[in-house]
Structure 1
Amino acid sequence: MRHGKKHNHLGRTKSHRVAMLGNMASSLILHKRIQTTLAKAKALRVYVEPMITKSKNDTTHSRRTVFSYLQNKEAVTILFREIAEKVATRPGGYTRIIKLENRLGDNAEMAIIELVDYNTVYGVADTAAPVKKATRRRGGGSKAATTDAAPAATAEVTPADDAVVAEPEATAAPAVEEAPAKNEDNAEKGE
């Protein structure tokens, strides 16, 4: 019976599976995005996210532990220098799996697994709003309601005043001034 055994064997022996996941994790860290099958991507997510969490604590012990999984010095260096800085405030969920079309040869489900903080398409809105809110149990609702009401009132008044003031200036002054100047020039040319 397989009670509680949740990991996918991926049709490989343990040594082959561990070597493959280590290589894929190194490639993910170096290239920030890799394309693979959906099953391997899900297995890789479970394998690499604890290492990224461990990289937040930059000690010799954590570096050696991660190196024992990756067996790649360049990947360990990039993980602890670059990636750990970007994910320092993120509490988890460092990777994203995006499903692709099935592979033509064997109809396998394909996917892209990528590091969330390195995607420029999805990361634009996320990087603009990493503002932490202070959570309180009471007293926060009345302050927010009064501050939201004041800008709304000024926003309603301002466009109406601008529309009334802008219309007479635009229609009356330029049309009267430009028309005689052109007529005088034409009259001088004709004489």
Structure 2
Amino acid sequence: MRHGKKVNHLGRQTAHRKSMLANMACSLIEHKRINTTVAKAKALKGFIEPMITKSKEDTTHNRRIVFSRLRQKEAVTELFRDVAAKVGDRPGGYTRIIKLGNRLGDNADMAMIELVDYNEIYNADKKAKKTTRRSRRGGKPAEAPVVDTKSSNEEEE
């Protein structure tokens, strides 16, 4: 039975698992997307999303909490400076997991985990949709351009 088993141990001891997730999180912050197994990607998602939420409010306390889990000063700086600015208006769901198929060597399920706001391919069509909205019904007609009704004689006076 698996009562009360909420964390996937990933076949590692606690210290090894925490170090591995910290290293993967630093790589994700640096490169914006990484390839890994599906199980590790799901574990990483649960590890990094609370830290991205903390990074939205730049306080000394939040920086220390994130640094205690990441353990790399450069990654913490980039998280609070670049990533937090990009995800500032997003209420959650900062990462996306895309399944890639099986690895050739051991047939493990592979996945790509990426930061959502840094993917130009997915975000390009989202921006295009928000430009205009037209209804199928008549609605109000488009306004005619404003034309200056003054004649040239009036302007000379």
| Aligned mates of 1:130, 1:80 — CA distance in 2 | 28
CA RMSD of aligned residues (A): 2.3
Find the counterpart in structure 2 of residue 70 from structure 1: 70
Point out where structure 2 has 5 or more consecutive residues left out of the alignment: 143-157
Higher helix share: 1
Find the counterpart in structure 1 of residue 33 from structure 2: 33
One-letter amino acid of the counterpart of residue 82, structure 1: D
Report whether the alignment pairs 1:15 with 2:15.
yes
State the Cα deviation string for residues 95-129 of structure 1 (Å, max 9, x = none).
00000020010000000000000001101133456
| Aligned mates of 1:11, 1:80 — CA distance in 2 | 32
Find the counterpart in structure 1 of residue 108 from structure 2: 108
Seq. identity, %: 66
Structure 1 pair 106/69, CA: closer, same or farther in 2 (3 Å)? same
Higher strand share: 2
Give 1:91-102 correspondences, 5 Å limit.
91-102=91-102
Report whether the alignment pairs 1:49 with 2:49.
yes
Find the counterpart in structure 1 of residue 154 from structure 2: none
TM-score by length of 1: 0.68
Report whether the alignment pairs 1:150 with 2:131.
no
| Aligned mates of 1:100, 1:115 — CA distance in 2 | 16
Which consecutive segments of 4 or more residues in structure 1 shift more than 6 A?
none
Instruction: Report the Cα offset of residue 49 of structure 1.
Output: 0.3
Find the counterpart in structure 1 of residue 5 from structure 2: 5
| Aligned mates of 1:149, 1:116 — CA distance in 2 | 38
Higher relative contact order (CA 8 A, sep 6+): 2
Give 1:109-128 correspondences, 5 Å limit.
109-128=109-128
| Aligned mates of 1:4, 1:149 — CA distance in 2 | 59
Structure 1 pair 90/54, CA: closer, same or farther in 2 (3 Å)? same
TM-score by length of 2: 0.82
Report whether the alignment pairs 1:61 with 2:61.
yes
Task: Give 3-state SS (helix, strand or coil) of 2:121's partner.
Answer: coil
Task: Give 3-state SS (helix, strand or coil) of 1:4's partner.
Answer: coil
